[in-house]
Amino acid sequence: MGFLSPWFLAAIAAVGLPIWLHLLRQYRQTPRPFSSVMFFERRSQSSVRHKRLRYLVLLTLRCALLILLALAFANPFVNRTSATAGRRKLTIIAVDRSFSMRYGRDLDQAKDAARRVIASLPGRDLAQVLAIDSHVEAMTQPEVDKNALRSAVDAIHATDQASSFGELTRALRVMDQTTGMRLNVHFVSDMQESSMPGFRDLRLGPHTTLVLHRVGGRARPNWAVESVTAPPHVYDANSTRLTTTITGWQTSAVLRKVTLYLDNKAVASKEVEIPANGRAQTEFLAFNVPYGFHRGEVRIQPHDELSQDDSFPFAVERSDPQKVLFLYVGGRAQQAFYYKAAIESASNTGLIIDPEPIERVSSLDLSKFAYVVLNDPGAVDSGIAQKLCGYLSRGGAVFIAIGRNTDRAGKVPLYGSRIVGEHDTERAAALNADEPMLRGLAQLENVQFFENGTVAVKPDSRAVARLADGAPLLVEARMGEGKLLVFDSSLDGTSSDFPLHASFVPFVVQTGHYLAGFEETTPSLAAGTAIPLRKTRDQSTAADVIGPGGKHELSLNDASRAMSYTLLEDGFYEIQRADHRRLLAAVHADRRESDLRPAPDETLDLWRNTGDSQPAVQSGGIEKQTRPWSLWRYAMFLVLLAAVMESIFARRYLKEEKPAV
């Protein structure tokens, strides 16, 4: 016997209350008038003794009531061996279809093993086929039809995703709890060590028996292009640089030919010596990239048994630097001096500054600019503000710097927030370097932000940098599909000495890349990565995804509603997002799968033993199980009984205490 919530037993201490009431508390009785007490004698001792004797019944009931109540909450249980009809058995045939199963004939061997399990099933036994990669997919419902099971096994194809044994274990635990059946799981896999999670995630359910079927040999050498580092945008062919890493697992030292392809044309090639079980890096410099999007690939030759990871796709775009519209007021074009100098001093920013007076906005096509900078605009004309807001809602980006003009206007244009109060000359304090617009930016040491108004942060936006007194310094907001940054200082040096500091350049470049959307493009993504298609659900503009096979991957409904799309296959995806931006995404198989070293047998044994490693004693089809059997209902019944008895006795005693003469 035990208690599921033993800490509730502490409530038994409450029995001290009735004991105090009955035994320690001085008994007080209401005097009853009598004509004369001259014939009475004091009988206090005997009467009190009599009182205690009689009240002990009530005391016992009250103590029992409290003890039983505490017991009920402590949830007592006894281990009860029940002879019940055994759970019905469900055979689960789980087949690993991750990228590593492409090695040699591993997947075919796994399917053969699964078919053998199906063939060995007794006639009426239920079975279900699951396919495993980073997710678990049920290929069938629980079936007795072996042909349906075999068909499901035949339909399993290898994917480019990594396998997750933790995901399989979680799914089996859920089935253990919900099906009410005994699970006999046959898992067919190459048992990669890299797919094993922590042991806490490998715990199986109590009615689950795991049988592991390993396919493939233990020594399986594999070389792979592990990574490619390339710029997603190329603005100058002379400065093009690509770095790639070639890795071997369980391999000896070899010489491999590494070739760079661009749009399936070999651009450059090198011989690389790869050490045993090691890595080698090589660079391709100053290769020519024509204008536009291009499908790049790094391949090693000759191929090994797992040829799919011998190439690594990447996407690259050659374009001219994008224009940034810098809007100044009052005819002072020199306001753009510091900002323009910062952009031009950095290499390969992909941005050029185009200063224009703010009055010209109405005649400009804003969609041609990567983003717009408003330097201390003051009160903006409603027509200009309307045009800028429309640009923002369609996916544009605006950087607003607050100076004395805007401070006097008392309101941040476009953002709509009021400028409240005024901060003293302060330094920047909280700077979150993890934010994409501030990535890699050190503290703004020694930068003085002069007296200026404080921007009130609206509920749907956030301050990503603050001054020492807590006033927001940089506020990020979303407006429709667009991005807006509000900087509580001007960019011309009138509100701070920031432009005179070295940290001004990375600040301008990082915020510029963020606003221009450069941060969202990477040369290659791992299979299984989700890419955003739109920023708000109410954006009705259709998005489009063309997969590696050249087919449109989105249905009409998904094209107008899907927020993101998961890139599953190795290859290139042409994506048009809801904000009309186009990009080419290169997807590579998860390189964790390239490490084919199997998990040690000891680890697999431990995994098996987390389940029902000791089958229940069976006798003539009857299964005996020991289970905790909760007694709280009985305790509550006794509580009710004690409460009724206590009421009866208490009522009786109270009645007796009324004057009887």
Of residues 13, 48, 155, 333, which one binds another protein by CB under 8 A?
A: 48
Segment near another protein (CB under 8 A); pick from 23-31, 232-240, 432-440, 515-523? 23-31
* Residue numbers 298-337 binding another protein by CB under 8 A: none
Nearer to another protein, 44 or 540 (CB): 44
Whose tokens are 């009735």? That residue is 18
R_g of the chain computed on alpha carbons? 38
Using rule CB under 8 A, residue 660 touches another protein = yes
Characterize 18-49 residue by residue with b for buried, 16 or more Cβ atoms within 10 angstroms of its Cβ, and e for exposed. beeebeeeeeeeeeeeeeeeeeeeeeeeeeee
Nearer to another protein, 59 or 380 (CB): 59
CB of 631 to another protein, least distance (A): 39
Q: How many CB atoms lie within 10 A of CB 126?
A: 16
Alpha helix stretches (DSSP H) within 120-249: 146-154, 165-179
Segment near another protein (CB under 8 A); pick from 49-57, 246-254, 296-304, 318-326? 49-57
By the 8 A CB rule, do 296 and 264 touch? no
Using rule CB under 8 A, residue 32 touches another protein = yes
Peptide bond before 18: cis, by omega within 30 degrees of 0? no
Of residues 7, 25, 29, 363, which one binds another protein by CB under 8 A?
A: 29
Burial of 615 (0-12, 13-18, 19+ CB in 10 A): exposed
Nearer to another protein, 29 or 363 (CB): 29
Question: 548 phi and psi, to 5 degrees?
Answer: -60, -25
Question: 440 phi and psi, to 5 degrees?
Answer: 80, 5
Using rule CB under 8 A, residue 31 touches another protein = yes
3-class SS at 387? Answer: helix
CB of 40 to another protein, least distance (A): 5
Nearer to another protein, 43 or 551 (CB): 43
Nearer to another protein, 42 or 537 (CB): 42
By the 8 A CB rule, do 573 and 547 touch? yes
Residue 406 DSSP code: H
Using rule CB under 8 A, residue 51 touches another protein = yes
Which of 249, 253, 229 has the alpha carbon at shortest distance from 309?
A: 249
Give me the DSSP letters along 444-471. Answer: -TT--B-SEEEEPPPTTSEEEEEETTS-
Using rule CB under 8 A, residue 52 touches another protein = no
CB of 651 to another protein, least distance (A): 15
Characterize 82-106 residue by residue with b for buried, 16 or more Cβ atoms within 10 angstroms of its Cβ, and e for exposed. eeeeebebbbbbbbbbbbbbbbbeb
Segment near another protein (CB under 8 A); pick from 30-38, 169-177, 228-236, 434-442? 30-38
CB of 37 to another protein, least distance (A): 4
Using rule CB under 8 A, residue 550 touches another protein = no
Of residues 1, 7, 26, 38, which one binds another protein by CB under 8 A?
A: 38
Of residues 1, 26, 42, 619, which one binds another protein by CB under 8 A?
A: 42
* Number of residues engaging another protein in binding (CB under 8 A): 26
Nearer to another protein, 52 or 80 (CB): 52
Contacts of 629 (CB under 8 A, 6+ apart): 77, 78, 79, 80
Using rule CB under 8 A, residue 238 touches another protein = no
Of residues 6, 20, 34, 279, which one binds another protein by CB under 8 A?
A: 34
Using rule CB under 8 A, residue 26 touches another protein = no
Q: Count CA within 13 A, CB hemisphere, residue 262.
A: 18
By the 8 A CB rule, do 342 and 508 touch? yes
Segment near another protein (CB under 8 A); pick from 45-53, 97-105, 115-123, 641-649? 45-53
Nearer to another protein, 46 or 382 (CB): 46
Nearer to another protein, 7 or 40 (CB): 40
Nearer to another protein, 38 or 502 (CB): 38
Nearer to another protein, 51 or 592 (CB): 51
Q: Rule CB under 8 A: which residues touch another protein?
A: 29-44, 46-48, 50-51, 54, 656-657, 660-661
